[in-house]
Structure 1
């Protein structure tokens, strides 16, 4: 690692870590620096999966967040660069064993090892000080955008935003187990991972769109960029499994918003040797994961599913973006983009409704929500595409490669 990074300010926090705005010391380039504390095997497993997926995407697509580098924190002020193509062996071991290597085990080992063994362990632990860290933190989070930037613009949306009644059921997220890789070096105890990524100054998709007046041209640009990003990921055999507006970031450019798919903590890569996402044979997954309003019916039902679950999540997002459909989670004041089904006084996620009734007729556009402040309803070609994306049968949905072409042609057809 040749660059040092300086931290400017915290821009977000969440369940897993903290994100800072920072700069590369040599070039001055602005970056987002995410600190992920390695406090539990469950967290470590998620971090390794995110790191592996981001390395696979590299910097090869403008609509996927770019990873600049990864550092291991081995002491209060000591960082060690992680070599490209490698995973830290001790973190992989923690995820596989279900306990953090270097805490309970090391305490027991220290009581039984000889003085020479202790000396070797100490030398190995201190060998990570290749450079002095200029990073300082006192908090832990996992958001890429500043919560202070988030605004609820009720004057730009409907006078009354529907509220979804929270279900009493808790759906634990099962995270994929990382693959063991050999690592020649590394500390016996890693305190945290630091991911250095490109910085997105437009916040997430919720903040970006809901803080601006409705604009059809902007909406069409968003859905086309998202379809391109997912086609790219699926070609690499990466299934995101948690597509939602919170996990889509926006970079502001002179030519308009540049959309970036981010947060690969729940992503899964298909095995080598399969016929691929677009072939007749698709790898199936079984872990129930995602966010309620964007989960596909087969995921809601606890069935095995394929990359087509991502297509359903995109369909929910596209519908919400094009018609500016929003909701509030109970107890929250922050609007979120998402499609749903009205059930009595409450809202039901579309995937859950289709899981209960696969023959449910989805009405696009949602005429009951039309108002002068909203953009015009999507045209017939786009409505047909949305219905196909939201089909209860995964095989009836277009693949990611087909979707990219169909989005472009549908937007052009409706514009004529």
Structure 2
């Protein structure tokens, strides 16, 4: 790692990995380096989804975090750059088998040598990896190696019985010969056998652009309200989601924690990040064009964060990319009105809209799932202290209500949203 990057300090830690601040050894450019330990098939699957999505976005939008490179760690100090054209098949194999490749016990390895390999594969409900990868996991040459090993074992048994008839002096002077000759291996076969041996993948290292402003929660709540800055954030967020949906990527975990901020002379530049729960929309193995595919792609996995999940996700119904629009609506509302809450067991304020049920705060999506006719009141705060921003205008309020509609089909698409955000801000500013 030291030859390529220098790790400076830890800047973040989550359920699945650790993020470090670092520098490129050659150029000195500051980068963020995320280490994702490959300790279970479930975590590996999330890492591959994130890698897949980030490779698709590349560096084509200023409001989506950019991936510089990806490295696969196969030893304590061994890193291998991954080609951008393919996923690491060792990790794909771990997901399919439901066990991390290269971490079997000796007993399991012996059983795997003598027993035929199962033809079943493990897939998740959204079908990220299909059975088409199975043919890559075992090749003809592997069965040839197994048969040659068994033949060598039988030959060595015969050789040992013959050797008992010779004296130690004869053994030292004359090589043992038998009537059976060992099968000859073609030149380079040993090298190919070693190359096909499963590697132990310790971790994935994702090298990304560094954001010095922290996440959206930290950035906004550490500064006084500013309407012009808030409107800029709304435009950038809508641009990022329009870009992702155009590439048929559904984020599925939009929240302020997953939006990073880069500070610059022209103001804050936001970066949508953390694609571990994202999905790329495909149908019949072929990608479709633009947002037309998103209306046909349904997901069933319940995932996301409570205070930003759409009603249909709360209800366990099949959902589409419109769930992202609802999550974005919750964020927009919280940004414009500085709505915050304290998550249970935490003392850190979080941006997010909700419904009050006595002393309890209910996530907006859960409340709308229980009562689709619930009347959402925007703006929510009638009395405003000088530290609070002014209430959003009528055009922005109407847009927020459409984004937070309980019916997914009533919400604007990402492309429509990008245009409406700019129009609503302009309309309210002209009044």
TM bucket by the smaller chain?
0.7 to 0.9
Please give the residue correspondences for 1:2-41 in structure 2 after superposition, counting only pairs within 5 Å: 4-41=4-41
Question: What does residue 127 of structure 1 align with?
Answer: none
Question: What does residue 369 of structure 2 align with?
Answer: 355
Question: What does residue 151 of structure 2 align with?
Answer: none
Question: What does residue 103 of structure 2 align with?
Answer: 103
Task: Tell which deviates more after alignment, 288-297 or 82-91.
Answer: 82-91
Question: What does residue 154 of structure 2 align with?
Answer: none
- Partners of 2:261 and 2:413 in 1: how far apart? 25
Question: What does residue 144 of structure 2 align with?
Answer: none
Task: Considering Cα pairs closer than 8 Å and 6+ residues apart, tell me whether 1 or 2 has the greater RCO.
Answer: 1
Match of 2:261 among 230, 250, 261: 250
Provide TM-score, normalisation by structure 2. 0.79
Show structure 1 runs of 4+ deviating over 2 A.
105-114, 173-187, 272-282, 367-372
- Partners of 1:297 and 1:18 in 2: how far apart? 31
Work out whether residues 90 and 186 of structure 1, in 8 Å CA contact, stay in contact via their aligned partners in 2.
no
- Partners of 1:311 and 1:359 in 2: how far apart? 19
Provide TM-score, normalisation by structure 1. 0.82
Does structure 1 residue 341 correspond to structure 2 residue 292? no
Question: What does residue 80 of structure 1 align with?
Answer: 80
Match of 2:128 among 177, 183, 205: 177
Match of 1:228 among 231, 239, 243: 239
Question: What does residue 312 of structure 2 align with?
Answer: 298
Please give the residue correspondences for 1:256-405 in structure 2 after superposition, counting only pairs within 5 Å: 256-271=267-282, 272-274=286-288, 276-278=290-292, 281-368=295-382, 370-405=384-419
Matched residue SS, 1:22: strand
- Partners of 2:198 and 2:308 in 1: how far apart? 39
Work out whether residues 297 and 351 of structure 1, in 8 Å CA contact, stay in contact via their aligned partners in 2.
yes
- Give ranges in structure 1 of 5+ residues lacking alignment: 115-172
* Aligned residue pairs, count: 358
Query: 1:104 offset after TM fit, Å?
Result: 1.8
Deviations 1:274-307 (A, max 9, x none): 4642469421111100000000000000000100
Work out whether residues 278 and 401 of structure 1, in 8 Å CA contact, stay in contact via their aligned partners in 2.
no
Query: 1:242 offset after TM fit, Å?
Result: 0.2
- Partners of 1:366 and 1:392 in 2: how far apart? 18
- Partners of 1:208 and 1:110 in 2: how far apart? 55
- Partners of 1:40 and 1:23 in 2: how far apart? 29
Please give the residue correspondences for 1:40-55 in structure 2 after superposition, counting only pairs within 5 Å: 40-55=40-55
Question: What does residue 149 of structure 1 align with?
Answer: none
Task: Tell which deviates more after alignment, 391-400 or 96-105.
Answer: 96-105
Greater helix fraction, Structure 1 or Structure 2: 2
- Partners of 1:370 and 1:396 in 2: how far apart? 31
Distance 1:113 1:361, change over 3 A: closer
Which has more radius of gyration?
2
Work out whether residues 274 and 282 of structure 1, in 8 Å CA contact, stay in contact via their aligned partners in 2.
no
Matched residue SS, 1:383: helix
Question: What does residue 64 of structure 2 align with?
Answer: 64
Distance 1:106 1:269, change over 3 A: farther
Distance 1:3 1:239, change over 3 A: farther
Task: Tell which deviates more after alignment, 15-24 or 229-238.
Answer: 15-24
Query: 1:174 offset after TM fit, Å?
Result: 7.5
Deviations 1:16-56 (A, max 9, x none): 11111011111110000010000000100000000000000
Work out whether residues 174 and 288 of structure 1, in 8 Å CA contact, stay in contact via their aligned partners in 2.
no
Question: What does residue 204 of structure 2 align with?
Answer: 193
Does structure 1 residue 207 correspond to structure 2 residue 218? yes
- Partners of 2:50 and 2:294 in 1: how far apart? 27
Task: Tell which deviates more after alignment, 77-86 or 380-389.
Answer: 77-86
Deviations 1:145-164 (A, max 9, x none): xxxxxxxxxxxxxxxxxxxx
Work out whether residues 10 and 19 of structure 2, in 8 Å CA contact, stay in contact via their aligned partners in 1.
yes
Work out whether residues 274 and 281 of structure 1, in 8 Å CA contact, stay in contact via their aligned partners in 2.
no
Query: 1:88 offset after TM fit, Å?
Result: 1.0
Distance 1:252 1:347, change over 3 A: same
Does structure 1 residue 409 correspond to structure 2 residue 405? no
Query: 1:90 offset after TM fit, Å?
Result: 1.2
Distance 1:377 1:89, change over 3 A: same
